[in-house]
Amino acid sequence: MLQRVLTADIGNTFTKFGVFEDSELQKRFAIPTERIVVNLAQYVGDTEFSAIIACSVVPEAETSFKEICTHLLGLEPLMITHEIDFGMSIKYEPPESLGTDRLVTAFAAVEKYGYPLIVCDFGTATTIDVVSSKREFIGGIIFPGVEMLSQALSEKTSKLPKVEVKKTEKVIGSSTVSCIQSGIFYGYVGFAEKVISKMLEEMGEDAKIIATGGNAKLFAEYLNILVNENLTLEGLRLLFERTTLGKNSAN
């Protein structure tokens, strides 16, 4: 029997959705988190789902998300918590302070690519996390995302505009806009390269490096890393298959 599962990654800026039919991703879309209640119906229509599974870093959005799922789709979503078995030993203190999105993404990366690995999520905030050869989530870094940096420059200075973040052909900018774009892009590449290099040094072993998130493709070429933009959504689907909780909800 076909299982159609709606996965949702509730982020600070956008909530990213994936529609899976069994193991295949059929559709993906994103809605501003503050507008889920208003806009979700236009994306899912009268689609019938077997289950809904979600992770969230925005506690204040969870109640409205549950309400719209129950009202619109007739299902209460399964919210990922730290009680779920992620198949990893969590070496993070305290474990409850670790965002479930980071755990879901790391879990998906391990399931798809093995371990040890470094997983980079270039979203509103950038996280770079490590899973060791002992299958231990040992932590990582949290850093402002590129859009946040661009916005901060504009808001905290009187003359600098907010610019589109993109790769520039030259490091040396010839205008204020190109100087900001170059500074953010190449500064971010340098930051990521250094962090990954230091992580590998501290790990003392080679590791696969995977990137996900809205800005992953922007930096992947320069960082020479594999990109999977759907990693968190795929992780949610895999957790649905893995957990007894998910299996029970589909019955």
Task: Output the furthest CA–CA distance in the chain (Å, rounded).
Answer: 62
- In the chain the domains, ranked by start, together with CATH numbers, are 4-79 (3.30.420.40), 89-232 (3.30.420.40)
For 193-210, the pLDDT digits (tens) are: 999 999 999 999 999 999
pLDDT one-digit tens code per residue, 23-49 = 999 999 999 999 999 999 999 988 999
The C-alpha atoms of residue 3 and residue 240 are separated, in whole angstroms, by 11
In whole numbers, what is the pLDDT of the chain averaged over residues? 92
| pLDDT (0 to 100) of residue 243 | 76
C-alpha 214/C-alpha 217 separation (Å) is: 8
User: Taking Cα atoms as reference points, which of 98, 68, 93 lies closest to residue 80?
Assistant: 98
CA end-to-end distance (rounded Å), the chain: 11
Q: Which residues are catalytic?
A: 101
Q: Determine the Cα–Cα distance for residues 32 and 164; give it in Å rounded to an integer.
A: 19
